[in-house]
């Protein structure tokens, strides 16, 4: 027993050392955090960081799409060598990822899981999402923070900590607008105090930069910010190059001729641009409306179980990188809750699958889940090479894989897991009765 503990300690120490070396290597380079710091320098000097190409390194230039407040928060770090804020944010990302896994496990507190089952669930979750996790670290990006902030805020709301919970989620919305989808969800689930808390702090966080910038200066930067994130902007309507992965990048390229980075035809129809954009917006709306399928009717009722809420959140996080424009590979780390839910579904129901689920459904889940894994994760250049990887990006296989996950969720509702739970409870009751 002591030898096994010592072996585990050594393995954990080696893993930690590997992670730290990995983070140091990344921090020595230039990820997207360099863009944030360059934007902060411009704000520090009284300028606007928006609609400007900011130098990242070499021939790399990027635009700044984040809030004025985020740039102001980073101003103290602009006086330091870039390595320091880079490594600090990477270490923070380790915390965000660890804490996210911890928070997701809390949704399974009502389920009886063995230590082996928990390890398998965690392994499958990391395996499915490893490409997007590594990309977040490699780019020194924000997605893990966004994911953690929503889950942490929801936990705080459950503990009646309305101020802190609202502040955390509001700050995430301010930094990057994506978590705003949680607001209508909270209304639907009768979490009115949570909704009010987030809304109040969201307004305050828009105003607070006025302390540093002045009212006119802050108003100007907010208008500049809106000018680059406005979804009606032409650059957000059709995204034809390799980098974006979302419905904006997928649907128009199928419906109208677009000039991509690779000279391979993608369109199956030749509609005009306006028609292609209308179809895109209709599909976006349908995906948003399809949320009601997972939330069920009637509205204004609180969740009956943690597992049901995890199921709902899995869909909400999944559609964020699909419906928003300008989404890149790192945004798909938001699919981690779905991977966690499905991994739990497969592991928990495996032993009793012939009782609680038809074989055709079980195999359909496995096939769709596996195909999604191939399209989303195994299509990385580290596995298939750069040329093939560029072709998969040209055809937006990550987006296709995400769409398949919607069907996986439909086929794997919580009610099947609850049937398995009833079987286990009944077996335990009979065992106690027999031994009693």
Q: What pLDDT shows up at residue 154?
A: 97
pLDDT at 436: 60
The dihedrals phi and psi of 377, each to the nearest 5 degrees, come to: -105, -45
Q: How far is CA 364 from the centre of its chain?
A: 25
What contacts 298, CB < 8 A, 6 or more positions away? none
* CB-based contact 237:248 (threshold 8 Å): yes
- pLDDT per residue of the chain (436 residues) written in tens, 0 to 9: 555 556 667 877 888 888 889 999 999 988 889 999 999 999 999 999 999 999 887 777 889 999 999 999 999 999 999 999 999 999 999 999 999 999 999 998 555 788 899 999 999 999 999 999 999 999 999 999 999 999 999 999 999 999 999 999 999 999 999 999 999 999 999 999 999 999 999 999 999 999 999 999 999 999 999 999 998 888 778 898 999 999 999 999 999 998 888 989 999 999 999 999 999 999 999 999 999 999 988 899 988 889 999 999 999 999 999 999 989 999 999 999 999 999 999 999 998 888 989 999 999 999 999 999 999 999 999 999 999 999 999 999 999 999 999 999 999 999 999 888 888 888 878 877 777 6
For 56, the enclosing helix (H) or strand (E) is strand 54-57
DSSP class of residue 436 equals -
What kind and span of H or E run contains 192? helix 192-207
pLDDT the model gives residue 2 = 55
Cβ atoms within 10 Å of 127's Cβ, excluding its own: 13
| φ, ψ at 56 (rounded to 5°) | -100, -40
Kindly state the DSSP code that residue 53 receives in the 8-state scheme: P
Q: Virtual CA dihedral for 45, 51, 52, 57, nearest 10 degrees? A: 120
From residue 154, give the alpha-carbon distance in Å to each of 142, 174, 199, 329, 360: 19, 17, 14, 25, 36
pLDDT for 109: 59
Give 88's strand partners.
none
Phi-psi region of 274 (alpha: psi -120 to 50; beta: other; left: phi over 0): alpha
Is the pTM higher than 0.85?
A: yes
Distance from chain centroid for Cα 260 = 26
Please give the biggest Cα pair distance in the chain: 77
Token code pair at residue 354: 């012939």
CA distances from 262 to 234, 242, 273, 395 (A): 21, 8, 20, 10
């Amino acid at each position: 027993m002591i030898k096994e503990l010592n072996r585990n300690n050594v393995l954990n120490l080696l893993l930690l050392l590997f992670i730290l070396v990995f983070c140091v290597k990344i921090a020595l380079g230039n990820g997207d955090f360099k863009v944030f710091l360059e934007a902060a320098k411009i704000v520090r000097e009284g300028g606007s960081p928006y609609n400007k190409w900011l130098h990242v390194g070499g021939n790399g230039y990027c635009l700044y799409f984040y809030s004025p407040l985020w740039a102001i928060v980073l101003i103290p770090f602009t006086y330091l060598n870039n390595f320091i804020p880079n490594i600090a944010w990477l270490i923070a990302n380790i915390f965000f990822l660890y804490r996210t896994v911890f928070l997701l496990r809390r949704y399974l507190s009502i389920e009886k899981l063995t230590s082996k089952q928990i390890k398998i669930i965690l392994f499958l979750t990391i395996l499915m999402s490893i490409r997007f996790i590594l990309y977040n670290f490699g780019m020194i990006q924000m997605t893990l923070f966004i994911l953690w902030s929503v889950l942490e805020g929801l936990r705080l709301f459950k503990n009646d900590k309305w101020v802190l919970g609202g502040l955390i989620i509001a700050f995430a919305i301010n930094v990057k607008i994506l978590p705003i989808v949680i607001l209508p969800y909270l209304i639907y689930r009768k979490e009115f105090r949570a909704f009010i808390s987030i809304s109040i702090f969201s307004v305050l966080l828009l105003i607070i930069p006025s302390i540093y910038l002045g009212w006119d200066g802050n108003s100007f930067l907010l208008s500049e910010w809106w000018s680059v994130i406005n979804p009606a902007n032409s650059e957000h309507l059709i995204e034809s190059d390799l980098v974006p992965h979302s419905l904006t990048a997928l649907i128009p390229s199928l419906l109208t001729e677009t000039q991509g980075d690779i000279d391979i035809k993608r369109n199956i129809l030749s509609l005009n641009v306006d028609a292609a954009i209308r179809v895109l917006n209709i599909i976006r709306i349908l995906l948003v409306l399809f949320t009601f399928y997972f939330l069920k009717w009637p509205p204004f009722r609180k969740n009956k179980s943690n597992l049901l809420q995890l199921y709902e959140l899995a869909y909400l996080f999944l559609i964020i990188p699909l419906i928003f424009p300008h989404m890149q590979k790192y945004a798909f780390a938001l699919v981690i809750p779905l991977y966690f839910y499905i991994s739990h579904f497969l592991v928990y129901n495996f032993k009793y699958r012939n009782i609680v689920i038809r074989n055709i459904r079980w195999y359909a889940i496995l096939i769709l889940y596996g195909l999604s894994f191939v399209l989303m994760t195994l299509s990385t250049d580290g596995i298939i090479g750069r040329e093939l990887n560029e072709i998969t990006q040209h055809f937006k296989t990550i987006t296709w894989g995400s769409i398949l996950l919607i069907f996986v969720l439909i086929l794997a509702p919580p009610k099947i897991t609850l049937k398995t739970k009833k079987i286990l409870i009944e077996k335990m009751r009979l065992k106690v009765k027999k031994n009693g």
